[in-house]
Amino acid sequence: MAERKRLVAGNWKMNSGRADGLALARGVAERARAPHRCDLLVCPPFTLLAMVGKALAGSGVALGGQDCHPSPSGAFTGCISAEMLKDAGCSHALVGHSERRHTCGETDADVRAKTEAAWRAGLVAIVCVGETRAGREAGQAREIVCGQIAGSIPDGATAEQLIVAYEPVWAIGTGLTPTTADIAEIHAAIRGELPAGTRILYGGSVNPKNAAEILALEEVDGALVGGASLKADDFWAIAEACG
Ligand code: PEP
């Protein structure tokens, strides 16, 4: 089986204007010149894609969009298609982030359509899944996450086109993380549902202090990083925790 090279991906969310976004992108590109053992990806807001893409050129750091619409074009005011992301220089698209599932009401069927759109445009889809605090406390984390996988990932997935990010909703932006045993358990359950070789990232309050312990887990193939990706030093420290 092909080695699953780890990936550290930064989700900038709705942060950064031109000045700080450029400084951050340049900071990441600069640090990425040093030897490192993981793939790197940043997902800035749509408004910064072109500028950040230019700043990252030649650095080996990939560019991704934070979402995409299922349709290639049309009367969808305020939306961005997967084809537009590809045209802007992206190689990846995040889909199904919990902030979209929970604040925009996106369903598994929506996420599935977006994943298909990403593939149609030639992008790697990073499909996010994760249980709420209530789901975790009810002892249903595994069922919820496996249900999201079944509903959100189209037939015919391959390890080249798909990455899954396990992000417990209650761990995102809270400073809380599951135990490493809990992360390992859910990742192993997810792996059983995916094509061999598919990378599974952990996301939820990953920072320079906890990254090494989480990234050392056999089933963890990298991290999806929100808050800590907004500081080049912190993002790089997480990348370095890959070994
Ligand atoms: C995220 O939004 O994908 C995320 C993991 O955020 P944070 O690292 O801030 O918890």
205 lines ligand 1 (CB under 6 A): yes
Q: How far is the CA of 74 from the centre of ligand 1 (A)?
A: 31
Q: What is the pLDDT of residue 2?
A: 63
CB 111 within 8 A of CB 96: yes
CB 242 within 8 A of CB 38: yes
CB 39 within 8 A of CB 6: yes
CA atoms of 28 and 212, how far apart (whole Å): 19
Nearest alpha carbon to residue 147 among 209, 94, 190, 180: 190
167 lines ligand 1 (CB under 6 A): yes
Question: For a pocket test of ligand 1, which of 167, 207, 215 has the largest count of ligand atoms closer than 8 A to its C-beta?
Answer: 167
190 lines ligand 1 (CB under 6 A): no
Is 97 labeled as catalytic in the residue annotation?
yes
224 lines ligand 1 (CB under 6 A): yes
**Residues in the chain where the model's pLDDT stays below 70:** 1-2
Q: What is the pLDDT of residue 184?
A: 98
Is 69 labeled as catalytic in the residue annotation?
no
Q: What is the pLDDT of residue 243?
A: 85
Put simply, whether the predicted model's pTM sits higher than 0.75 gets the answer yes
Which residue matches tokens 């305020």?
78
Q: How far is the CA of 172 from the centre of ligand 1 (A)?
A: 5
Q: Which amino acid is at 59?
A: S
Q: How many residues does the chain have?
A: 243
pLDDT digits (tens, 9 = 90+) for 134-177: 999 999 999 999 999 999 999 999 999 999 999 999 999 999 99
CA atoms of 117 and 71, how far apart (whole Å): 7
Question: For a pocket test of ligand 1, which of 205, 210, 214 has the largest count of ligand atoms closer than 8 A to its C-beta?
Answer: 205
